[in-house]
Structure 1
Amino acid sequence: MAEMEIPPYFICPITLDIMKDPVTISTGITYDRESIENWIFCLEKTTCPVTKQLLFDTELTPNITLRRLIQSWCVLHASQGVERLPTPKAPISRSQILKLLNDANSPDMQMNCLQRLKSISYQNQTNKRCMETVGTAEFLAFLIVQKTLDLESESKQACEVALSILYNLQLSESGVKSISNQEFIEALSRIMQWGSYESRAYAVMLLDSILEVADPAQTVLSTINPECFSQCIQILKDEISQKATKATLKVLINICQWGRNRIKAVEAGAVNLLIDLLLDYSDKRACEMILVLLDLLCQCAEGRAELLNHSAGLAIVSKKILRVSQVASEKAVKILYSVSRFSATPGVLQDMLQIGVVAKLCLVLQVDCGIKIKERIREMLKLHSRAWRNSSCIPDNLICSYPS
């Protein structure tokens, strides 16, 4: 199709491909439905891609005349291998969704309605936005809460289907806020405990979305059930997927802003697992998040104690300095700073010498790595000058970096 002459008005201005489902937006420009939906709803753009005018109305009007012209053109060129484009399904209406939600209240019709809703949500972004505006998210969240309190197999099945729909809706910020309540968070925690791998991944990614929009003053962040920490740790251990792992790390980072939650995370085994993951992970973003989380956990005595009890704790944190990114280096130095300032027993100071942590700190002072990092390192080295300055563990070419 690319080698033959295609009428320019058949081409989507965004992708430069022939349109399968042409729709016209409020500025009068026609685009392929999938492309303009991605532009408006996924990329959250508020202007017309061609005219740059502000979009006050996101309604997409099917351009039926153009679609028929494109289909006719495809038929005329069938001998050249062009396939006729199928007539796209019309977007779902509000009344159709409301009827499905109402019918889903009936136990006999519930699974069929949920499967229908799932199919509708996968068709296009317009359907998703329509489903959100009529309250589908709130209905599904309520259903999930109820089903997680019932351990019958049929309830679990309905719960997992409802959860998959809710995740696939890709809710707006206001949509996420509409389901942000303690009961739903506890339901997600229960799913993380007994759900399938897929459902556990959906649950933690939805929890991540909720915590991203939560007001820091809300009690939802400070009253997380201790069981939730254990389930987050288990998801990290199971390595369900990269998306699930990163979502779980973000969840833990968000909820560990609260001091009492740091202790809960440490008690669930977070520090030991994070060190083990840091030993294996090469992904830049994952390493950064692990170090951010370790930094939070090392702000409490329990977290520092676990780090020091791990045979590779200090060594792996030190190793990541200058090897991942500026963010990772800052967090790694901050972790070592917390240890040297609040947990610096003679044994710990000796360990930091023996495994090369102090030598690494001196090395960092010789390179361009940021003012904040160097200030913290100088403060550490000065603080423990008596124990470290004249040690034979620091190479001669680095001892000159030791601050006076």
Structure 2
Amino acid sequence: MAEVEIEIEIPPYFLCPITLDIMRDPVTLSTGITYDRESIEKWLFTQQNTTCPATKQQLPNLDLTPNTTLRRLIQSWCTLHAVQRLPTPKAPLTLPHLLHLLSQASRPHLQSQALQTLKSIASDSHTNRRCIAASSAPEFLASLIITKSSATEDALSIIHSLHLPESGLKPLCTAAFVEALTLIIQRGSYESRAFAILLLRSIADVADPSLLIALKPDLFSEIAHILKDKDISRKYMKSALKLLIAACPWGRNRMKAAEAGVAAAVIDLLLDASEKRECEMMLTVLDMVCQCADGRSELLGHAAGLAVVSKKILRVSGAASERGVRILHSVSRFSATAAVLAEMVQSGAVAKLWLVMQVECGAKTKERAREILKAHARAWKTSSCIPNNLISSYPS
């Protein structure tokens, strides 16, 4: 006789409203709606929503209360219907337990084990990470990194996993911590270097300008090395670019970046870049660095410098075109030797500027293109790349 498959109907209140799967760890929001912990934490903390998914109500707080009664009902039902029994979830981290772990981590002979435990707890849930981030733990972990403790890598890994908000990053914005992270970027393992650059980038978003202005040349040299590393992931490459963008509004840092060889490294990346946001960031960095003489010199000294900047204009986005024209404007205004003007023709930069004048572009972009063409009209009159009627309309 053929076996008859019996379909078991699951009580609807056992299902998470988000995934429609049986809840493993039901928790209740302030709205009274219960969700599986993993699903609602993703909704609230990863996707950064502040409403209840089911009711769309704004949440007065993001507290998650374990629904132990419902969990026991689900487990009993699973046993009764021969459904694989769901294990009892680990209890969320409590502040007394966290403080006990930090106390242990302050003792050299217990430090390694305590940090491994803390690392494991942090990986369990968003709730645990929020508890750690809201405590004194980040500052304690930062102190281990600053003092070059043997547990530096574990401490850095835990801080990275917390995804600290601005309030949690502010206390870490110290010269000593930035210097310690710079040292890790120079000498640490691949993973630690990656964590350090990501953390520095986050710190740069909230740090006082005085801290950013005081960044050491060594950091810019290491960022240049990161950008040149063919094995570095795109995520870390983008973080390095964002760190440069945060640091280079100040002329002193532009000079440090130029002297470190950042422009050449970015040009090499730009040659193969096709993703819109990446190109925009690379051109932004080049624009900043080219506002100092060393940066322009490095751009012009690179065989593909002017050519790759010109190529990206009108091919990526309005923002990329604006930055590309700004770079050419800097070169035209401050570095326009006869050789450079000839290279601007040969590389297609002048022809691209002419195209900018003919198509829909931002007003400032058109104005800069017009200024460049007008300033060097006489030098380019004999060029076959530029229509004579356009050149003659911009007398020198």
TM over 0.5: yes
Query: Which residue does 2:252 correspond to in 1?
Result: 260
Query: Which residue does 1:151 correspond to in 2?
Result: none
Deviates more, 1:383-392 or 1:313-322: 383-392
In structure 2, what is the Cα distance between the partners aligned to 1:201 and 1:260? 25
Query: Which among 195, 201, 217 is matched to residue 226 of structure 1?
Result: 217
Query: Which among 329, 339, 355 is matched to residue 347 of structure 2?
Result: 355
What is the TM-score when the length of structure 2 is the normalising length? 0.93
In structure 2, what is the Cα distance between the partners aligned to 1:260 and 1:4? 70
**Residues 210 and 73 (structure 1), Cα distance of their counterparts in 2 relative to 1, 3 Å cut:** same
Structure 1 unaligned blocks of 5 or more: 149-154
1:384 aligns with 2:376: yes
Residues 149-168 of structure 1: matches in 2 within 5 Å? 155=150, 158-168=151-161
- Paired residues, number: 386
Shift of 1:346: 1.4
Letter in 1 for 2:178: I
**Residues 4 and 303 (structure 1), Cα distance of their counterparts in 2 relative to 1, 3 Å cut:** farther
In structure 2, what is the Cα distance between the partners aligned to 1:321 and 1:93? 55
> CA RMSD for the aligned pairs?
1.8
1:61 aligns with 2:52: no
Verify the 8 A CA contact 1:365 1:401 in the aligned structure 2.
no
In structure 1, what is the Cα distance between the partners aligned to 2:21 and 2:29? 18
Query: Which residue does 1:7 correspond to in 2?
Result: 11
1:235 aligns with 2:248: no
Shift of 1:76: 4.5
Identical aligned residues as a percent: 61
In structure 2, what is the Cα distance between the partners aligned to 1:175 and 1:159? 19
Query: Which residue does 2:22 correspond to in 1?
Result: 18
Verify the 8 A CA contact 2:310 2:347 in the aligned structure 1.
no
Verify the 8 A CA contact 1:145 1:187 in the aligned structure 2.
yes
Verify the 8 A CA contact 1:366 1:401 in the aligned structure 2.
no
In structure 2, what is the Cα distance between the partners aligned to 1:371 and 1:71? 66
Query: Which residue does 2:273 correspond to in 1?
Result: 281
Query: Which residue does 1:300 correspond to in 2?
Result: 292
Shift of 1:52: 3.0
Verify the 8 A CA contact 1:226 1:264 in the aligned structure 2.
yes
Q: The residue matched to 2:27 in structure 1 has which SS?
A: strand
Query: Which residue does 1:106 correspond to in 2?
Result: 107
**Residues 263 and 64 (structure 1), Cα distance of their counterparts in 2 relative to 1, 3 Å cut:** same
1:180 aligns with 2:168: no
Shift of 1:401: 5.1
Verify the 8 A CA contact 2:156 2:195 in the aligned structure 1.
yes
In structure 1, what is the Cα distance between the partners aligned to 2:18 and 2:264? 48
Shift of 1:45: 2.5
Letter in 1 for 2:128: N
Structure 2 unaligned blocks of 5 or more: 1-6
What is the TM-score when the length of structure 1 is the normalising length? 0.91
Query: Which among 311, 323, 343 is matched to residue 315 of structure 2?
Result: 323
Deviates more, 1:33-42 or 1:83-92: 33-42
Shift of 1:68: 2.3
Verify the 8 A CA contact 1:22 1:32 in the aligned structure 2.
yes
In structure 2, what is the Cα distance between the partners aligned to 1:283 and 1:4? 49
In structure 2, what is the Cα distance between the partners aligned to 1:243 and 1:73? 45
Shift of 1:265: 0.8
